[in-house]
Amino acid sequence: MCLFCKIAKKEIPSKVLFEEEDLLAFHDINPMAPIHVLVIPKQHIVGLGEAVAENAEVLGKLLVASRRVAEETGLVQSGFRVVVNNGPHAGQSVFHLHVHVLGGRPLAWPPG
Ligand code: 5GP
Ligand code: ZN
């Protein structure tokens, strides 16, 4: 079964920042910035490329939760970046939708 479904069900441990009814926010196992948190829906959605109109509510909740991550990790003043990698060119490696929330240092733009 899917890795992030297992994390959502606590079958695989993770460093949880917070949990809501439909989603989980936890620290990335291989952080790319001082703060690197992933926000996932508990529902299995493969990626943004597979999302449909019926997913609009949970997609909205993921963004609101990303803002909560920034607030709880002290990033609102300094700034933060929200990223969704989708497909091969974006380097998506886990095929369960996840939002990266990154911050705690200046982030280069454009990304590599
Ligand atoms: P993607 O490359 O698909 O956008 O991001 C997948 C992210 O999941 C990567 O940043 C990777 O470090 C993270 N990741 C992969 N496996 C695990 C795991 O078992 N636990 C946690 N906390 N993060 C993971
Ligand atoms: Zn899944």
Query: Mean pLDDT in the chain?
Result: 98
Q: Which residue has the tokens 């920034």?
A: 70
Determine the pLDDT at residue 34: 98
Domain ranges across the chain: 3-103
- Name the DSSP class of 79: -
Our mutation pick for probing the ligand 1 site, out of 48, 93, 99, counting the most ligand atoms within 8 A of Cβ, is 93
Are the CB atoms for 100 and 75 separated by under 8 Å? no
Q: Which CATH architecture has domain 3-103?
A: 2-Layer Sandwich (3.30)
Q: Which atom of ligand 1 is nearest to the CA of 36?
A: 10
Tens-digit pLDDT profile for residues 25-78: 999 999 999 999 999 999 999 999 999 999 999 999 999 999 999 999 999 999
Instruction: Answer yes or no: is pLDDT of 112 > 90.
Output: no
Structure tokens, 34: 């001082």
- Residue whose CA lies nearest to ligand 1 atom number 16: 29
Mean per-residue pLDDT, 95-104: 98
